[in-house]
Structure 1
Amino acid sequence: MTALATSRGEEREERDGPWRPAAGQVCAVLGVALLVALTASVCLGSTRVPPGEVWSAVVRGVSGQDAAPGTQDLIVWRLRVPRALLAAVVGAGLGLVGTAAQALVRNPLADPYLLGISSGASLGAVAALVLGLGAGGALGLGLSAAAFAGALASFALVWAVARRGGGFRPLRLVLAGVGIGQFLSGFTHYLVLQAGDEQQTHSALFWLMGSLGGAQWATLALPSAAVVLGALALQAKARALNALLMGDETAAALGVDVARLRRVLFVVTSLLTGVLVSVSGAIGFVGLMVPHACRMVVGGDHRRLLPVAGLFGAVLLVVVDLVARTALTDQELPVGVVTSLIGAPALLYLLDRRLEREH
């Protein structure tokens, strides 16, 4: 009965609200944009490769054929394709995590950074690097496990602080996340400075600003699996997320087990953040900006918002990584620097639009 009421309420909201493009159409457009962005990312760089040769190399790589003599298959298949795919996977994951985090705390300004999750994941990963625990085999499970443990521990601490005195206040959770996240970030930088190897220090600092330069085929399996499973888990909870936005009491009246839902979101966001940070470092603004932009197009219904946010996040980070690689001729920019330069003005614009609608 409650599920039927929820479904009818959502259908009524879609019918009476402002016109929105169909989610399938938006996903189709984003899918084409992602294909174009991936192709451009592989084509462009210090050595430019024509699109036809790129796709020929991809076909040969997928089919297991040897590299053709005189071609640039090694550059395309071994270096650029894994990096472009990793950018898409990480971008999709950050879009999903940001959407889930904002629903979890009912605050459009929430993201893994504001909640302290990314800071905890970064601390765990840097500790593993400095202490020499990051060698976890082909999948990098040592680094991923350390990042996940840090993300889980930091979010648990934030959650405990926010719930002191009983009850749940989204604003208190955000403030606790900001404070604890800053403390963990300071400790992370202290660990980096204590590293004995200067090259290791430089690499850790570059990684903390976000980098996809270490992408390999072997490193794609774990984040890809985590993003797919996370997306399925969140999509299965889409109706419950819609109810949660209306408040705990309303969600409970509609038959949602609020405490259990928050535990699921807690684990999924921590797991995804930990895995993503372990392969890409700390990349800001994507998880904050993507849900805002997608809501402007498809609305706040998580049944439509989640797949769109995942695809848009993938497109965005592939383009950002391309800019980071090609903006300067003599060096590569950290991905986090580019997302900050793009994300800060875009977020201010989105907030200004929101304020205009509210007034």
Structure 2
Amino acid sequence: MRKRRITTQRVCIQLTRPLLTGGLSASLLIAAVPCSAMQALDDSALAGVSGQDGLTINLEATEGWSADSIKWKPDAAELSLNTIDLTGVESDGTLAGSDPAAATFTVDAGTAGDGVPLMALGLHTDNRIRVRTDSLTIPSASNTRSMGTFAFDFEGGIDLVNNGILNMGYNKAYLLGEIRDGDLFYRQGDDTNHWIALHDFALRWEIQEGTLGVEDQSIVHRAGNPFDPNAVSGPSSEIPTSSNIQASDLINLALDFDLIYGQKVGAEEFRITNNARGLMHFGFLGSVRDAELKWMSGGVWQGATAGAFDPNGVNAVTSEGLRFSSQWDYVNLDDIAANNFLSAENEFRWKLGETARCCKRRSVQSQL
């Protein structure tokens, strides 16, 4: 497989079409600083890359990526992320001396054992990256107040294997998303104030066989057969029990972080040192079954239509935001006792307690 490297210093993107055709009137607008063009892959360069080999693209921002603002405009209001920067960062939050932000994007194609054509997509960071926004505002003539400054340091990636990218007709899609060694910072006011952070943030989400597609103007992520109380027949009418669980019904999950606080160190506004203080530890680990998640258009329900309680109905009056719905069942000890393909690691459990001595990295072990 031949690899091509694309190096860019600034990115300029504008997206004004609805995110879901016919279903979402809100638009996303990214207003970036003057930008330099990416280096194009010409015909001669692409000639040596075949579809069977796949394609790997290495992205590197030698001077970081930045944008003046990212704006979302539902209804008459506007939500604005201002002065967004993406750079490389060291494990303790130090920017000086860090490698440039870099990532690898892969595309490949093939077939499953049953002959179904498949596409494989992957996007992974090559080093630790910081995404920072100077302020989050709802700007107007009378309001310039900020909701605070955010920064997220992390490594991670996502892998998807599906019949196409989004396809409701295929139920064996594989999806793995991971964030590791993360620090999510939040601060109000200027950098003389303290910050609070989710330290040593780790998140993993694995669906081994499921569906990822678009249905009824909604993005749907489904594994197994989520129970539908209105169904009169079929798998969705069956109440989940220990006797009707299958390996393909599972989503494996892991979340772990310490809640800490600290303050600016020298010129580094978000650097973690031994002077930071831990508050609590939180997380969960295990598997859920028969899960369904939906992201759809329509925000807050604005009241009954003709006297009918229909917040999710086709005639419901809602704002122009986004709506999210989800359902699942936890894997429990009864499920594990009744099924040999399950182990103690599949039991879903919550974790709540004291933080580790601040601030060392911790390895999160899971069945993923």
Give the TM-score taking structure 1 as reference length. 0.21
Greater helix share, 1 or 2?
A: 1
Higher Rg: 2
Greater strand share, 1 or 2?
A: 2
